[in-house]
Chains A and B, each alone.
Chain A
Amino acid sequence: MPDFSTLFVTQEGEPLQVGDQTITVISRALRVLPHWGFGGVVWNRPVAVKIQTASGVEHILPVVDETRRRQLIILAFGLAGAILISLFFRPPAITAGHVKK
């Protein structure tokens, strides 16, 4: 069995010619494989597209996961909201002679 000790693996696809430009897709996989070898987790996602023009200029376009980005924004709003709620709706402090049942 091949050695999969590396956690993150970045791979490039085969270059594709479109017009006068060459496109190469790039992916990154997270591989968690226990060393005893009975299974594991693989999370593979697109990272970027490398574009090379006929003049030799190379630039990289990132592939943004818009759904994940917005989910994280919603989560951040939720956390901020939770902090605000805990500040504004905090129960009053127990003063001397005021025993809480």
Chain B
Amino acid sequence: MTEEQPVEEKAAQDKGEFTNVSVDTLQATMEKFLDTANVKAVFAKPIQQGDTTIITCSEVMAVLGFGVGECCGGDATNGGHGSGGGGRTFARPVAAIIASPAGVTIQPIMDPTKLWIAALTTLGFMFAMMGRMRRGRRH
């Protein structure tokens, strides 16, 4: 989540108003980050198709970190200040809720790539362990 510094922010920094602008930016970023904890982040808008309504749901994970600092007074003549941050959001579909007059069903959405990665990693770990223990027996 690396963003270029906006023009307004740069101008404000030149005027010595950097701190206020960065606090506003951080607050806005933090608010957007906290929106990921909302129920609307997990469940999509319902899709209507005739009598049937479909709602897809996903797992959402967001990580964010930032910091600000200043040194030696914090003004433009004898000091300096800076801020930085980073974050990432992950989302993965989990299931689809299908609602019709006949009833409601939940269809799971599977990710075969993740399963193959897990299976191959586990097998690799087991074979490596077996090889090491066999070598240990021979010595």
| Interface residue ranges, A against B (CB under 8 Å) | 1, 4, 9, 11-13, 16, 18-21, 23, 25-27, 29, 31, 37-46, 49, 51, 61-67, 70-71, 74-75, 77-78, 81-82, 85-86, 89-92, 100-101
- Specify which chain B residues have a CB less than 8 angstroms from the CB of A46 in the assembled complex: 42-43, 57-59, 94-95
B136 in contact (CB, < 8 A):
yes
* Docked complex Cα distance between A101 and B55 (Å): 65
* Docked complex Cα distance between A33 and B42 (Å): 19
* Interface residue SS majority, chain B: mixed
Contact A23 B104 (CB under 8 A): yes
- Specify which chain A residues have a CB less than 8 angstroms from the CB of B101 in the assembled complex: 18-20
Q: Contacts A19-B51, A41-B61, A42-B62 given; indicate if A71 touches B118 (C-beta within 8 A).
A: yes
CB distance from B123 to the nearest CB of A (A): 8
